[in-house]
Structure 1
């Protein structure tokens, strides 16, 4: 009946019981009996099974209320490791983390995504192996590999789909290639989705509805609604870089259309404007450096890009009503110029109700958002209730 308060279902199996521990707080058997409504013997058996699987460990004793202090148990995230990979148009970031996404070893390097997929992924596997060794761990401890790619990805099979800035990658079976090279399960998603996930989990887990906007060589958005990453039917949700900007019909985009947001406000578009004014621009970072050095033309170009992005985001705000827009990517390093342009238009064009509590801010996770999000893709799958139940069954049968 309407009006009745709804409560979440109580955990039943060991996998669901484990979800209570993912907040990092130690728990006693008695507190778990109270939280789950299960018998002491059932709770004790499931704690034993989770401990045998390496997912829980003793965490000392709780404060006694009389008699012997009860033992506590907590999530043991160091039992397995994850390789998180964030690939951009011109860079790569990799990190080995534990199951709580704490980095054990990390690196970043220039990398051209336009190189042949096999070459790029072989480099990822070789570099990832070196990082695992640097972290003092072995490949047999890998729970999985998470990777973000700078283009549309069919999230059902992890294959890129006609990615505009990744020639030769269309339909590449990225999960199969990396699995053959590293021997662990692979999860693939769009790079902006993994950045949105990383920012959400590490910086603002309490924000249930947000848009993460990456502004770099390309432009895209990750959508978090009701606390969950939303990909859409085929994984194309958030591809704002190829929404048409009013008045920009003649600007050609590398996707084959004209007037796309990326074609007028992406790093390449801003660089073209500045080059015509005599500036020497080789990379998107060069634009940021000019802005930070006080170059007036660069500051004006970035602010106008912000306005163009704001025009597209205003429609997204009215459609999705997020409480926060987080701007990341290389161009977010250009100080207030980009954010000011976005705010100017979004607050002007969106309905007052939609912007009443809306905050538009720069990413706090920064360059680590992508690798943390990529690692989180793996841990969410590895630590899902059904995965843990299957892991425990395998260990019991061994």
Structure 2
């Protein structure tokens, strides 16, 4: 805990529990005067506000202070291969308004990001809030992202996006920090925050147009050296031998178990299926051919996950994405292969379950990504210093390396909030 400035006090108050100055002094070891001086900029910024309901001790009640999630807003976007969701959240990560529309990532970065910005402006009008109330933007993209710059790196299903400076483009309209990551990484953050805040080792697997995963190990999201950790859709599997993938290689899992591959297989059987939604509809209607195809896709995915289980040893695998809506047929195929092929020790305490957060996992994760940066002790201290010096609120335009090193307090507090709603 950084107790050297206002940012340290804010981290304590972000759990939502009101505290008196005396309680903050006891927690931090600071004197009452030091606590008051650190609270001053937080009160001026309205990040902290007086809270009612302090217990009476017979004398004058002590003034309690609490974190104010409604002080500012975060824009969060989850962009997939064929659909995108944009939301505005408060500073606790609670979604206030959101829109999901069909949008092809292949339209290119300018078209997609222009739509994203238009949705942010529309949502601000709905909430009757000003553009200046947005203090950060979090964006998930369906491909590898160099996290330090926010630039996509050789994404196989994103023509025109390679090396595109996403933060710089967004900042032409919203001059605030813009945090960009792979969409499945953000789904992992969102799912963990809402349903599994205490889980230290888990894999979130997205099965949709593409297949990817977000890996949490030792409580930390793992991105790897170049941001491609978890890109499991292009791992070779036995049934894919000789089948060409859109990445240019053959035998990739995605080429036989992704939504387009399953839909193509069903069309060969005379069924009308173009999208993942068509596949799910056929499964839900009880079509035996579709059910068998989805279950086989689950087995193929299980073959890949078997390697992950042996290598990472997760306690939990959560399956999301559009094809997860087909329910137990996909899950049964995955479990069948993983439990049959993995060692008993690796699967002894392993749970494989369907996502409970659903489509909102991505935008929740994008909000967490942005919040953990913009409300970090270092950023809040800088913000407070600028305020006390009479300068405008700072809008750092570059991403720092330590963005998510201390995410546990927010994850646990958000998990409690979602569990209580």
Q: Same fold (TM over 0.5)?
A: yes
Normalised TM-score (structure 2): 0.90
Q: Within 5 A, what are the aligned runs for 1:215-230?
A: 215-230=207-222
Which residue number corresponds to residue 178 of structure 1?
170
Which residue number corresponds to residue 163 of structure 1?
155
Out of 363, 372, 378, which is 1:371 matched to? 363
Which residue number corresponds to residue 416 of structure 2?
none
Out of 148, 152, 156, which is 2:144 matched to? 152
Alpha-carbon contact 1:83-1:96 (below 8 Å) kept: yes
Out of 378, 383, 397, which is 1:386 matched to? 378
Please give the secondary structure, in 2, of the residue aligned with 1:256. Answer: coil
Query: Could you tell me how far apart the structure 1 residues matched to 2:345 and 2:31 are?
Result: 48
Alpha-carbon contact 1:113-1:120 (below 8 Å) kept: yes
Q: Deviations over 1:66-95 (max 9, x none)?
A: 433322211111111111111111111111
Q: Within 5 A, what are the aligned runs for 1:40-119?
A: 40-119=32-111
- Give the C-alpha shift of residue 367 in structure 1: 0.8
Query: Could you tell me how far apart the structure 2 residues matched to 1:10 and 1:397 are?
Result: 22
- Give the C-alpha shift of residue 170 in structure 1: 1.0
Which residue number corresponds to residue 346 of structure 2?
354
Which residue number corresponds to residue 413 of structure 2?
none
- Give the C-alpha shift of residue 30 in structure 1: 2.3
- Give the C-alpha shift of residue 54 in structure 1: 1.8
Normalised TM-score (structure 1): 0.95
- Give the C-alpha shift of residue 229 in structure 1: 1.7
Query: Could you tell me how far apart the structure 1 residues matched to 2:61 and 2:311 are?
Result: 53
Alpha-carbon contact 1:82-1:96 (below 8 Å) kept: yes
- Give the C-alpha shift of residue 211 in structure 1: 0.7
Alpha-carbon contact 2:260-2:274 (below 8 Å) kept: no
Query: Could you tell me how far apart the structure 1 residues matched to 2:68 and 2:104 are?
Result: 37
Which residue number corresponds to residue 123 of structure 1?
115
- Give the C-alpha shift of residue 242 in structure 1: 0.8
Please give the secondary structure, in 2, of the residue aligned with 1:236. Answer: coil
Alpha-carbon contact 2:2-2:377 (below 8 Å) kept: no
Which residue number corresponds to residue 197 of structure 2?
205
CA 1:182/1:12 → structure 2, altered by over 3 Å: closer, same or farther?
A: closer
Q: Within 5 A, what are the aligned runs for 1:231-380?
A: 231-380=223-372
Q: Deviations over 1:123-180 (max 9, x none)?
A: 2111221111112111111111111111111111111111111111111111111111
Alpha-carbon contact 1:122-1:181 (below 8 Å) kept: no
- Give the C-alpha shift of residue 295 in structure 1: 0.6
Please give the secondary structure, in 1, of the residue aligned with 2:173. Answer: helix
Unaligned ranges ≥5, structure 1: 1-8
Query: Could you tell me how far apart the structure 1 residues matched to 2:155 and 2:202 are?
Result: 25
Asked if residue 189 in structure 1 is aligned to residue 171 in structure 2, the reply is no
Unaligned ranges ≥5, structure 2: 391-421
Query: Could you tell me how far apart the structure 1 residues matched to 2:325 and 2:195 are?
Result: 18
- Give the C-alpha shift of residue 247 in structure 1: 4.2
Query: Could you tell me how far apart the structure 2 residues matched to 1:109 and 1:200 are?
Result: 25
* Total equivalences in the alignment: 390
Alpha-carbon contact 2:87-2:95 (below 8 Å) kept: yes
